[in-house]
Amino acid sequence: MNVLLVLIPVSLVLAACGLIAFIWSLRSHQYDDLDGDAWRILVEDEDAP
């Protein structure tokens, strides 16, 4: 059962990574304009080399 001592922290850290990634995306306004971002990917980027 000693494997638990490794696996539990690993699973918690992994899940926490997901949580932190979500909170980061929320804070950086990535959910503010879902329709616009879906279209923006189709716009030619003029600054690109």
Partner 1 sequence: MTATAPIVACPGCVAIPSDDSGPETSGGLSLHLPGIHCAACIGTVERGLSLMPGVKSARVNLSRKRVVVDAPGVPIDDIVQRLAGLGYEAQPLDALMMSAVEGDAEGRRLLTRLAVAGFAMMNVMLFSVAVWSGAAEATRVLFHWLSALIAVPTLIYSAQVFFGSAWQALRVGRLNMDVPISLAIILACGMSVYETAQGSEQVYFDAALSLTFFLLVGRYLDHRTRLAARSAAQELSALELPWATRVTPQGPQTVAISTLAPGDYVIVASGMRTPVDGDVIKGETQMDRSLLTGESLAVEVGPGARLAAGEVNLGAPITMRATAVGEDTTLRRMIAMVETAEGARNRYTALADRAAQIYAPLVHVLALVTFAGWFMATGEVARSLNIAIAVLIITCPCALGLAVPAVMTAATGRLFRMGLLVKDATAIERLAEVDTVIFDKTGTLTEGHARFDASALPKATQAVLAALVRQSQHPVSVAIASALRPDIEEAALTEVQEIAGKGIVAKWHGQDVRLGRGDWLGAAGSPALQIGQETPVVLSMSEVLREGAREAVDGLRAQGLNVALLSGDTGVPVQIVARALEISDAQSDLSPDQKCDRIRDLTAQGKRVLMVGDGLNDTAALALAHASISPASALDASRAASDVVLLGRGLQDVPLAVTLSKSARRRVLENFGIAASYNMVAVPLAIAGLATPLTAAIAMSLSSITVLLNALRLRAVK
Q: b vs e for 17-36, b when ≥16 Cβ sit within 10 Å of the residue's Cβ?
A: eeeeeeeeeeeeeeeeeeee
Interaction of residue 43 with partner 1, rule CB under 8 A: yes
* Per-residue contact string for residues 1-40; x = within reach of partner 1 by CB under 8 A: x--x---x--xx--xx-xx--xx--xx---xxxxxx--xx
CB 31 within 8 A of CB 25: yes
Question: What six digits make up the tokens of 30?
Answer: 């990535």
Q: How far is the CB of 48 from partner 1 (least distance, A)?
A: 14
Query: Site for partner 1 (CB under 8 A): how many residues?
Result: 25
Query: Which letter does DSSP use for residue 32 in this model?
Result: S
Where along the sequence are the contacts to partner 1 (CB under 8 A)? 1, 4, 8, 11-12, 15-16, 18-19, 22-23, 26-27, 31-36, 39-40, 42-44, 46
